[in-house]
Amino acid sequence: MLRQYLWFVCAYIMDLLLISRCPPFPLHLGDRLIPYYLAQQLSSRNHFIDLIAFYDQPEDLANVPRYARYFRHIQLIREPRRATLDYANRALNPARLFPTTAEESWSPEMWDAIRSRISSDRYDVVELFGGIQVSEYYHLIRNFPNVIVPYESYTLYLKSALAQETSRLRYALQRVQLLAARRFESRMFSHYDRVVLLSDSDAKMLKSLARDLPVYVIPNGVDAEYLIPTGYEPDEPNLMFIGNYQYEPNLDAATWLAQKIFPRVKQRVPKARLLLVGANPPPALLALADEDIDVTGRVPDVRPYWEQALIFVSPLRFGAGIKNKLLEAMAMQKPIVATPLSISGIALESGKHVLLGSTAEELYRAIMQLIKDAEVRRTMGQANRALVEAQYTWRRVADQYEELYRQIIEARGHWKRF
């Protein structure tokens, strides 16, 4: 009886090792969200999590206390330099994708850290977060149930970027990158128990490159307990876009919105303003700021800006993965105008949760429709908040990861026994 009880407890309390391409903080960098909130949720369920992560900024070390309570052990390792020639060698020689010794890897320090962890602890699951940065460590963890989360398909990202490229030189360079990305992604995840993508489009792309790849789709979540709307509309017809403008798709979307879409709205609605919120706006974007366009830079709290926004506009023209900004807008009960690419991976219905447009003209008309119709804005905002609460909280995301871990463990027969 005692043995059965101990097995039951063990079966639902897991020891997890997370090997990540980045630390779990700061959260304004979107790729930090999964390791941060997943660890927060899983640790609250009494699972034990150890973290080994690459870092590239001195402040990453200072930020460790912000998430230390979610992990039993934390080790940050300086991001290595990966030479272009090394990428080429690995692309041409598939055997080099998965080194068998520390010296063959890009980061012998990371190799030794992983080897030390797995020799001292028996993990139920090893999760790798990232693509080329972490996939090379497969041989170290192959005896454990494992899952890799590449976040998005880089092939899909480059393919969408090519469709927008107008420079012949940049097009040619990106074509070479695309060929290399296809070669890498057709092989680099093939040995893992499961490969988690954030959207169906990313999963479909990887499946087209490696037909037998065991892909599994788990979308991102949003902190719906932090992003709680007041329910009041702003008095002014403000449009808003948010993003980290070091990410080229966000910069392109913000520039297109400010230069090609917003001026037409302003002609029809003189009181309209545009809020371009988010970190790292380059000089070219800052130069667009005037009395009608506010380029804020990074803000300590995004909620006041969400409350100022009448409509959230997401005119993304290229990129991959799920768009966290859409989930935030939905949590804040905002009506949305977006390109089809913007809503990839999110179960939004056109007309109910979002108005869609692919061209500047179509997006302008959708914005004007919402400005004129308060009832549509209200019902759309309420539907968006309800959808977030039903499908896109981090609690729901953690449920899906937890179930996936159990499937992998059971398939391997790897539950720890007393």
Two tokens, residue 8: 């039951």
Q: What is the DSSP string of 114-165?
A: HHHHHHH---SEEEEESSTTTGGGHHHHTTS-EEEEEES-HHHHHHHHHHH-
> Which amino acid is residue 325, in one-letter code?
K
Check whether 186 has a pLDDT greater than 70.
Answer: yes
DSSP reduced 3-state for 174: helix
Q: Angle at CA 390, nearest 5°, toward 20 and 152?
A: 30
CB 107 within 8 A of CB 134: no
pLDDT at residue 4 in the model: 43
d(CA 385, CA 326): 11
Residue 136 has, within 13 A of its CA and on its CB side, a CA count of: 25
Amino acid identity for residue 36 in this structure: Y
Least confident of 9-13, 295-299, 306-310, 314-318: 9-13
What is the reported pLDDT for 8?
Answer: 45
What are the C-alpha distances in Å from 318 to residues 46, 185, 250, 306, 385? 40, 19, 9, 24, 26
pLDDT, tens digit, 9 for 90 and up, residues 372-395? 999 999 999 999 999 999 999 999
pLDDT top residue among 167 and 281:
281
pLDDT level of residue 6 (50, 70, 90 thresholds)? very low
**Residue 170 scores a pLDDT above 90:** no
Q: Determine the pLDDT at residue 416.
A: 58
| pLDDT at residue 386, rounded to an integer | 97
- Alpha-carbon span 352 to 348, nearest angstrom: 8
Domains of the chain by start residue, with CATH:
2-221+394-412 (3.40.50.2000), 238-391 (3.40.50.2000)
Q: What is the DSSP letter of 298?
A: S
Phi/psi-derived region of residue 50, left when phi > 0, alpha when psi is between -120 and 50, beta in every other case = beta
Residues in the chain: 418
Handedness of CA 168, 173, 178, 183 (dihedral sign): positive
| % of residues, the chain, pLDDT over 70 | 96
- 304 has pLDDT over 70: yes
Is residue 177 scored above 90 in pLDDT? no
